[in-house]
Amino acid sequence: MKLGYIGMPDTNRLQGALFQHHEHLALAESLGFQCAYFPQKKPHDILYSDVAGGGIKIVLDAAGFAGLSPSEIESAVREANDQFQGRLHLGVEICGPTDSAQIKTQSQAYETLFSYGQKSDQMFAQSRFPMKPPCPEIIGLPRSGECSETRLAAARGYSPMTPSWLPDKDVARMWPAIVSGATSALRRAQASQWQVNRVVVVHEDAKTVEAYVKGGNSPIRRYFENLARRGLTTGDLDRHLSQTVIAGSAQKVAEDILSLRERVGTFGTLNIIDPRGSDINMTKTTMVRLAENVMPMVATSDVSQFKNLERT
């Protein structure tokens, strides 16, 4: 299992927040994280020169290229991919019927521009501006636990990414849908390409962890409150935090990650969410402890880590 980082700069203090996430980007690379994802940020917001080795994948939302014509989109994506030394990945939301018309339009543009689907699929056949290879890898982002969205992403050849707010039981339902979608397009689903998102906090003091996750000024609580306002989560907030947030000492977090994989199945990358307004030092501590303490314990405890990575 590899680690990824999802940074969410605070738009109310964008300049300082972006600098903060540039630091986290460099830290993520130095610690061997697989990728860094910056939702709703445009390519010029991410200073790739801050990353010395250039080995980390940069993931941006397709929505960051909104407002351009299809040909302009292709030019902008190629320019960004060159800027990131061929390591650009794009995240595309797979939208359900209740989403806004604007989101549907943006999503449809990218589903047609960057699709690896079969020619018989009407959506792909209608695309007048298919992007010619080489294309950045596309990551499908279902907005809910609907298996139809996951199947759609897998059928179009997108690498699957599971949202942070889904309880384990819903995450577990994703894999059969991924297999179904890939099979419908005559492809083999690869669990090593499946990314699962979770808010993770590593700190040895239990009271500090409790306050940071559930306290009145908690950035994590605000993150989930915002998800609830958008209709992405329902029910008791504290219960939902307990079900989806991985937090505690290095030993406890390692045990929780192993338990997560036991309940949902093998996946390739665990992406940690860094919500808006998060404490810089807490984020850095979590990233370092995850890489240096937690993941070695996971690797030592999980004797099957190298088995069945390509399960179907």
pLDDT at residue 14, as a whole number = 41
Radius of gyration of the chain (CA): 19
Per-residue pLDDT, 244? 94
Write out pLDDT tens, residues 35-49: 888 776 677 666 655
Share of the chain above pLDDT 70, in %: 74
Cβ neighbors of 303 (< 8 A, separation 6 or more) are none
303 has a pLDDT exceeding 90? no
Residue 48 confidence (pLDDT): 58
Decide: residue 281, CB within 10 A, 0-12 exposed, 13-18 middle, 19+ buried: exposed
∠ CA 83-114-125 to the nearest 5 degrees?
A: 150
At residue 102, the pLDDT reads 55
Q: Which of 73, 72, 66, 46 is nearest to 57 (CA)?
A: 46
The 10s digit of each residue's pLDDT in 221-246 is 999 998 888 888 888 899 999 999 99
Predicted confidence (pLDDT) at residue 63 exceeds the cutoff of 90: no
Nearest residue to 56 via CA among 82, 89, 79, 94: 89
Give the pLDDT confidence of 85-99 residue by residue, as tens digits. 888 888 877 654 445
Q: Is the pLDDT of residue 199 over 90?
A: yes
Residue with the bigger pLDDT between 9 and 281: it is 281
Q: Whose structure tokens read 């309940």? A: 263
Helix (H, G, I), strand (E, B) or coil at 93: strand
Pairing verdict, β 195-198 and 159-162: parallel
Residue 103 pLDDT: 54
Average pLDDT, the chain: 79
The residue ranking higher by pLDDT, 120 or 311, is 311
3-state secondary structure 187-232: CCCCHHHCEEEECEEECCCHHHHHHHHHCCCCHHHHHHHHHHHCCC
* Statement: residue 247 has pLDDT above 80: yes
pLDDT band at residue 307 under the 50/70/90 scheme:
very low
| pLDDT, mean of residues 294-303 | 82
Report pLDDT for 116: 45
pLDDT of 120 over the 50 cut: no
Instruction: For residue 163, give both structure tokens.
Output: 């949202």
Instruction: Say yes or no to pLDDT of 188 above 50.
Output: yes
> Is pLDDT above 50 for 118?
no
269 DSSP β-pair partners: 2, 195
- Looking at per-residue pLDDT, the higher value among 22 and 76 belongs to 76
Q: Where do the domains of the chain lie, and which CATH numbers do they carry? A: 2-301 (3.20.20.30)
Residue 46 C-alpha from the chain's centroid: 17
For residue 92, which of 76, 107, 103 has the smallest C-alpha distance? Answer: 107
Q: What is the mean pLDDT of residues 10-38?
A: 70
Band of the pLDDT at 253, cuts 50, 70, 90? Answer: very high
| pLDDT reported for residue 134 | 67
